[in-house]
């Protein structure tokens, strides 16, 4: 067993959290991670109030353990935030606040309802602000990760953030897919890891099988960091680019963003249809460099168990054996 400030604070067995990846998560996946002793987090940013109620009930029907709900803050209205808190998750997971939003007020709302807060940041400066606002856990996310990311590499941002916010527990995110990553992040000062891409390629993941296979086949070098996805979707993101797969659609539109903006209404439905049909060349797909470490689609519980087992073995055997007197 690996016990950290995070496992103690949240009451989970293992220091591993599923990233709340919007449509990349589902009640089935969240429950699988929680039931394996990790912390499942359901991404609810695009849920209607009815979806939220249904998804939370579905998750509770599958697990008695703790799970979190994730909101991309700049998209969230006050009513949406309150609805998420009223669902009483073990933890509110947040990221990417807009300039108009006050983290202290948001975190206080959660704390008043007995809900803990985990906030994701791409830099030490943002981590200090989140800690000052009262976050119970900070996620230090490196640029290796999938989806929207900052510019710092995980191996640099994690020790910078842990130093900046100590003693607040920090989870490391971005590029972690196995026990080697977990052990390395613990060595850098993290109290655990938050994992996205690895859980996309699991049996319980809700994404199309063709996309799971793409991640397994990827060597991790076929992604790029760009604002193309947000231009496509018409999103204004507060100061972040996104790591997406480099496919035919992306190659076709790189450098042609003005035309893309003009033709968005015509192109978006085609892109969404391609996603539904599993046409991995003609839709926008978010995933991270850790795809290079993912070689098979396995149950999410096995991902958790294998990560813990491998990290324990590294910490117990390999690393101590390197130190000689």
Ligand X SMILES: Cc1cc2nc3c(=O)[nH]c(=O)nc-3n(C[C@H](O)[C@H](O)[C@H](O)COP(=O)(O)O)c2cc1C
Q: Which residues bind ligand X (CB under 6 A)?
A: 19-22, 24, 43, 45, 70, 72, 95, 120, 141, 144-147, 173-176, 194-197, 286-288, 290
Q: Would you say 176 or 186 has its CB closer to ligand X?
A: 176
Contacts of 79 (CB under 8 A, 6+ apart): none
Least distance between ligand X and beta carbon 61 (Å) = 23
Torsions phi, psi for 282 (to 5 deg): -120, 20
Least distance between ligand X and beta carbon 62 (Å) = 21
Side-chain half-sphere of 133: how many Cα atoms within 13 Å? Answer: 26
Q: Rounded to whole angstroms, how far apart are CA atoms 14 and 38? A: 5
Q: Would you say 75 or 264 has its CB closer to ligand X?
A: 75
Least distance between ligand X and beta carbon 275 (Å) = 11
Residue sitting closest to ligand X (CB): 196
Crossing angle of the two packed helices 300-313 and 179-187, in degrees rounded to 10: 50
Q: Rounded to whole angstroms, how far apart are CA atoms 101 and 83? A: 17
Q: Would you say 64 or 296 has its CB closer to ligand X?
A: 296
Tell me the two tokens of residue 161: 């953030």
DSSP characters over 42-69? EE-TT--HHHHHHHHHHHHHH-SS-EEE
Q: Would you say 77 or 258 has its CB closer to ligand X?
A: 77
Least distance between ligand X and beta carbon 144 (Å) = 6
Least distance between ligand X and beta carbon 103 (Å) = 14
Torsions phi, psi for 289 (to 5 deg): -65, -20
Q: Would you say 66 or 323 has its CB closer to ligand X?
A: 66
Least distance between ligand X and beta carbon 307 (Å) = 12
Least distance between ligand X and beta carbon 86 (Å) = 20
Q: Is 310 within 8 Å of 242 (Cβ atoms)?
A: no
Q: Would you say 177 or 323 has its CB closer to ligand X?
A: 177
Helix residue spans in the chain (DSSP H): 5-10, 27-35, 49-62, 78-86, 103-112, 124-132, 154-165, 179-187, 197-200, 209-217, 228-233, 248-253, 257-262, 264-277, 300-313, 319-322
Q: Rounded to whole angstroms, how far apart are CA atoms 281 and 283? A: 6
Q: Would you say 153 or 317 has its CB closer to ligand X?
A: 153
Least distance between ligand X and beta carbon 263 (Å) = 25
**CA 93, 44, 220, 225 torsion: positive or negative?**
negative
Least distance between ligand X and beta carbon 253 (Å) = 19
Q: Would you say 27 or 288 has its CB closer to ligand X?
A: 288
Q: Would you say 62 or 198 has its CB closer to ligand X?
A: 198
Closest-CA residue to 94 (of 112, 111, 108, 74): 74
């Amino acid at each position: 067993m690996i016990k950290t400030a995070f496992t103690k604070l949240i009451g989970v067995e293992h220091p591993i959290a599923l990233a709340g990846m919007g449509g990349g998560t589902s009640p089935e996946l969240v429950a699988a991670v929680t039931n394996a002793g990790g912390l499942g987090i359901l991404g609810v940013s695009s849920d209607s109030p009815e979806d939220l109620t249904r998804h939370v009930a579905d998750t509770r029907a599958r697990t008695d353990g703790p799970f979190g709900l994730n909101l991309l803050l700049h998209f969230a209205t006050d009513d949406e935030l309150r609805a998420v808190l009223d669902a009483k998750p073990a933890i509110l997971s947040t990221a990417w606040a807009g300039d108009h939003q006050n983290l202290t007020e948001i975190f206080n709302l959660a704390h008043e309802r007995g809900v803990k807060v985990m906030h994701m940041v791409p830099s030490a400066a943002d981590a200090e602000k989140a800690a000052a606002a009262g976050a119970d856990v900070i996620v230090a996310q490196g640029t290796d990760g999938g989806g929207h990311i900052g510019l710092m590499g995980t191996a640099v941002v994690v020790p910078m953030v842990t130093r900046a916010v100590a003693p607040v527990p920090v989870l490391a995110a971005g590029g972690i897919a196995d026990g080697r990553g977990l052990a390395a992040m613990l060595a850098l000062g993290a109290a655990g890891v938050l994992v996205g891409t690895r859980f996309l390629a699991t049996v319980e993941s809700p994404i199309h099988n063709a996309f799971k296979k793409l991640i397994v086949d990827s060597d991790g070098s076929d992604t790029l960091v760009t604002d193309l996805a947000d231009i496509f979707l018409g999103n204004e993101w507060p100061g972040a680019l996104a790591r997406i797969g480099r496919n035919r659609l992306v190659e076709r539109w790189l450098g042609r963003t003005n035309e893309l903006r003009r033709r968005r209404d015509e192109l978006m439905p085609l892109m969404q249809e391609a996603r539904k049909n599993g046409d991995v060349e003609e839709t926008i797909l978010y995933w991270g460099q850790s795809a290079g470490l993912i070689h098979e689609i396995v149950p999410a519980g096995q991902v958790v168990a294998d990560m813990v087992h491998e990290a324990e073995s590294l910490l117990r055997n390999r690393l101590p054996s390197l130190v000689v007197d």
